[in-house]
Amino acid sequence: MTTTTTPRRPRKRERLVARVTAEDKAVIAHAAALAGQSLGSFMVAETRKAALSTIETRERIVLNAAQSRRFVEALLAPPRPPTERMKRALKLYRETVISDV
């Protein structure tokens, strides 16, 4: 006899609370009803989509071919000699910052 197990959904232990205007609540409730979801399920699903989209757009850099080529060339180019301003900044850093690393 073979038994199949259905994957368990993670337990929901966290709570999010938000204060909204009556108008916002009505709009969200209307959208949830149109989607055939409860207000809570709709809010969680749509908030998660928005969060993942925000993470995606903020954590990934999209370059076209020319930008990508310039980026790689900059990475592979030999370092430029430090400017006087950089030398002064490094000297000041070494005099003022204490590090055990």
Mean pLDDT (the chain) is 92
Q: Which pLDDT tens digit goes with each residue over 43-76?
A: 999 999 999 999 999 999 999 999 999 999 999 9
Cα separation, 18 vs 16, in Å, equals 7
What letters, b where the CB count within 10 A reaches 16 and e where it falls short, cover 3-34?
eeeeeeeeeeeeeeeeeeeeeeeeeeeeebee
Residue 4 is predicted with a pLDDT of 67
The pLDDT score that the predictor gives to residue 65 is 97
pTM above 0.85, yes or no: no
What is the pLDDT at residue 8? 83
Instruction: Report yes or no: 39 and 28 within 8 Å, Cβ to Cβ.
Output: yes
